[in-house]
């Protein structure tokens, strides 16, 4: 007996990909002379088709469903990361990045039993991860971290095998990309032009970037208490990204700009009119960045071009110029970097280290405002072992 096709809801009727097989009484689709059936209910059939068709159309085995699924793992992983964020072990930005990856995995592989995953599944997943080599490498690393968590917590019996098709970009790929887009470096002239036209807030942010290698997120998080010394001319601040302490001397120009733009309604040194942070990260991965937006508009108005010249370029320029000064241990402390070659004792020398750290800042200041003009790209650096000061 031929069975009548059920009504397809209007919201999924347009472009509905399945045909009705009256004899079998199910929705179906043919591939390579073979018919595949997806059930009676139109919504359930469409959901099943959406999941299975990429495997059917490429001749791959359909993964097993049920058991401990990828979606189950992602839920457990996010519960763990949210608990870490509540304990202040990670910041909101990191949590939002974890959520983006978890939702990505749940969307692409959610119903699949983790134990049924194969390298080919991750090879297929790789095509959906796009961006620069650095972005791709970061996303692949975060995907692997989800499954490592599952194994470490004994939620899955054995490590997941990702295969050769799910690897981070190689160093040579990163070098080729860097050569194509250029170094994230600003010239002295470009920095001076930006400072001349910047609003008070953006001017303070730019000076903190070139004075001490701060990112936009660093500028957003710095508070009044991080300004220390009798003249408030030292920044002592742990980077939000790593928690690693850093300190650097503030130029007179930077102190003046801070005074002109600082907040009087928040513990943060700078904030929005309503007291909220200048850079906000939301759980869905969305980022609202006042500094980045202001900088992009100013850069465009001045005709400063370059795909790699975002606000981060100030930090890269600072490091490139300061390397010419030669005191690498002091430079690393101003940057908040980890360097195995620098003893923990040096990081806690306090005022004994201040002259050397200040000398680094004065060197970069002279590059920008003084007569000493260096090309941050082409001028060779000093001997890294040298402790010379300007």
CATH code (residue 83): 1.10.150
pLDDT digits (tens, 9 = 90+) for 363-385: 999 999 986 545 554 554 444 44
Which domain-ending residue is among 181, 205, 223? 181
pLDDT recorded at residue 15: 87
Residues 214 and 340 in one domain: yes
CATH number at 333 reads: 1.10.443.10
Query: What was the pLDDT predicted at 239?
Result: 66
Q: Are residues 344 and 224 in the same domain?
A: yes
Same domain flag for 120 and 170? yes
Which of 116, 147, 181 is where one domain is finished?
181
Structural domains in the chain (count): 3
Q: Is residue 374 part of a domain?
A: no
Answer yes or no: do 196 and 319 share one domain: yes
Q: Are residues 129 and 20 in the same domain?
A: no
pTM over 0.85: no
The boundaries of the domain holding residue 167 are 70-181
Note whether 314 and 192 are within 8 A (CB). no
Whether 246 and 359 map to the same domain: the answer is yes
Given this model, what pLDDT does residue 367 score?
96
Taking 50 as the pLDDT cut, the residues of the chain under it are 340-346, 349, 373, 377, 380-390
Are residues 165 and 271 located together in one domain of the fold?
Answer: no
Q: What is the pLDDT of residues 236-265, one digit of tens each?
A: 987 666 667 789 999 999 999 999 999 999
Does 303 share its domain with 335?
Answer: yes
């Amino acid at each position: 007996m031929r069975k009548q096709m059920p009504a397809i809801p209007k919201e999924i009727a347009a472009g509905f990909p399945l045909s009705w097989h009256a004899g079998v009484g199910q929705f179906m689709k043919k591939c390579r002379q073979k018919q595949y059936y997806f059930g009676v209910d139109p919504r359930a059939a469409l959901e099943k088709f959406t999941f299975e068709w990429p495997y059917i159309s490429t001749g791959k085995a359909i993964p097993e469903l049920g058991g401990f699924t990828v979606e189950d793992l992602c839920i457990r992983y996010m519960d763990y990361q949210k608990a870490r964020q509540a304990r202040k072990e990670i910041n909101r930005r990191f949590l939002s990045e974890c959520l983006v990856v978890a939702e990505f995995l749940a969307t692409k592989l959610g119903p699949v039993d983790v134990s049924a995953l194969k390298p080919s599944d991750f090879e297929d997943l790789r095509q959906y991860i796009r961006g620069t080599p650095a972005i791709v490498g970061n996303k692949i690393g975060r995907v692997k971290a989800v499954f490592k968590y599952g194994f470490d917590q004994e939620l899955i019996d054995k490590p997941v095998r990702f295969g050769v098709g799910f690897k981070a970009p190689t160093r040579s790929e990163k070098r080729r990309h860097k050569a194509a887009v250029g170094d994230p470096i600003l010239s002295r002239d470009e920095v001076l032009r930006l400072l001349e036209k910047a609003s008070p807030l953006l001017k303070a942010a730019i000076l903190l970037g070139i004075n001490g290698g701060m990112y936009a997120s660093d500028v957003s998080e710095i508070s009044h208490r991080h300004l220390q010394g009798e003249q408030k001319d030292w920044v002592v601040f742990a980077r939000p990204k790593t928690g690693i302490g850093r300190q650097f001397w503030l130029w007179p120009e930077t102190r003046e700009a801070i005074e002109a733009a600082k907040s009087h309604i928040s513990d943060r040194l700078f904030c929005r009119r309503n007291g909220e942070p200048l850079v906000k990260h939301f759980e869905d991965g969305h980022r609202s960045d006042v500094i980045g937006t202001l900088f992009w508009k100013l850069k465009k108005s001045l005709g400063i071009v370059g795909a790699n010249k975002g606000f981060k370029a100030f930090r890269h320029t600072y490091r490139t110029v300061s390397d010419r000064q030669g005191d690498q241990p002091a430079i690393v402390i101003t940057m908040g970097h980890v360097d195995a070659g620098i003893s923990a004792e040096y990081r806690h020398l306090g005022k004994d280290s201040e002259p050397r750290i200040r000398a680094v800042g004065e060197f970069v200041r002279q590059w920008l405002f003084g007569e000493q003009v260096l090309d941050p790209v082409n001028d060779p650096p000093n001997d890294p072992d040298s402790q010379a000061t300007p």
